Homo-oligomer: A and B are copies of this chain.
Amino acid sequence: MRRLYHQPLSPFCRKIRLVLGEKKIEVELVEEKPWEKRMDYLRQNPSGKVPMLKIDDLTLAESPAIFEYLEEVYPDPPLLPKGAAERAEARRLASWFDDKFHHEVTVNLLYERVNKRLARSGHPESARIKEGARNIKYHLDYIGWLMEGRRWLAGDQLSIADFSAAAQLSSLDYIGDVDWSRNQSLKDWYAKVKSRPAFRSVLADLLPGFQPPSHYADLDF
């Protein structure tokens, strides 16, 4: 049985769910609360992070490694372009959102507002929320700027870059932290990614105690 251990608002879990959905790989979703540090989970994945994927009798962890595995073993449809230069561009942008965006924005907004409450590890720090709210602006503008000359974020085809970015943004959109009116190209791109069938189950997830804004699951937001 294929199983994905995940948290509903974790952007890295959402990224892998989008990849699995696009490749039509069915998995059972199992909610894992990393802050509980369950021994049985840590034995299988010593980093303690989500997602963790059980597939083909393997236990896979770290979302970039899980993605590359799925791309190698389940290549259809591909989420990396064919040429080495184009692949480097898709992976550059995937890393941008997994690392730079995540630490400059998601950690400051989502983790302060949501994760701290879930893990009962203190109150949101307003300085961090302000920093995240300031930082997200240039990232949104960067997506808008890229999309002025491209069909998808990394070029001509849908790739892991789109899913890495959309996964971070969708988690932040759940808590109303994305100003879509900032940039029309950005909004058009997100509408396009959001309308992928793979996005449906991600947007259907609800986190008890947190109510998403009305536009959140709306494809015509």
Tell me how many chains of this kind the complex includes.
2
Within 8 A of B (CB), among A78-117: 84-85, 87-89, 91-92, 94-96, 99-100, 103
Q: Which residues from chain B contact A63 at a C-beta distance below 8 Å?
A: 95
Is A66 in contact with chain B by the CB < 8 A criterion? yes
Cross-interface CB contact of A58 among B60, B64, B66, B88, cutoff 8 Å: B88
Is A35 in contact with chain B by the CB < 8 A criterion? no
Cross-interface CB contact of A91 among B56, B64, B87, B103, cutoff 8 Å: B64
Q: How large is the interface on A (under 10, 10 to 19, 20 to 34, 35 or more residues)?
A: 20 to 34
Tell me whether A60 and B72 are in contact in the complex, defined as CB-CB below 8 angstroms, given that A47-B96, A100-B49, A142-B46 are known contacts.
no
Q: Which residue of B lies closest to A107 (CB)?
A: B103
On whether the beta carbons of A62 and B91 are closer than 8 Å, the reply is yes
Q: Which residues from chain B contact A65 at a C-beta distance below 8 Å?
A: 88-89, 91-92, 94-95
On whether the beta carbons of A84 and B72 are closer than 8 Å, the reply is yes
Q: Which residue of B lies closest to A62 (CB)?
A: B95
Q: Which residue of B lies closest to A72 (CB)?
A: B84
Q: How many whole Å from A88's CB to the nearest CB in chain B? A: 4
Q: Which residues from chain B contact A94 at a C-beta distance below 8 Å?
A: 65
Is A39 in contact with chain B by the CB < 8 A criterion? no
Is A218 in contact with chain B by the CB < 8 A criterion? no
Complexed CA–CA distance, A100 and B99 (Å): 11
Tell me whether A64 and B64 are in contact in the complex, defined as CB-CB below 8 angstroms, given that A47-B96, A84-B73, A87-B69 are known contacts.
yes
Is A188 in contact with chain B by the CB < 8 A criterion? no
Residues of chain A touching chain B, judged by Cβ–Cβ distance below 8 Å, are: 46-47, 49, 56, 58, 60-66, 68-69, 72-73, 84-85, 87-89, 91-92, 94-96, 99-100, 103, 142
Task: List 27 contacting pairs A-B, 8 Å CB cutoff, sorted by A.
Answer: A46-B142, A47-B96, A47-B100, A49-B100, A56-B85, A58-B85, A58-B88, A60-B88, A61-B92, A62-B92, A62-B99, A64-B64, A64-B95, A65-B89, A65-B94, A65-B95, A68-B68, A68-B87, A68-B88, A69-B84, A69-B85, A69-B87, A69-B88, A69-B91, A72-B84, A72-B87, A99-B99
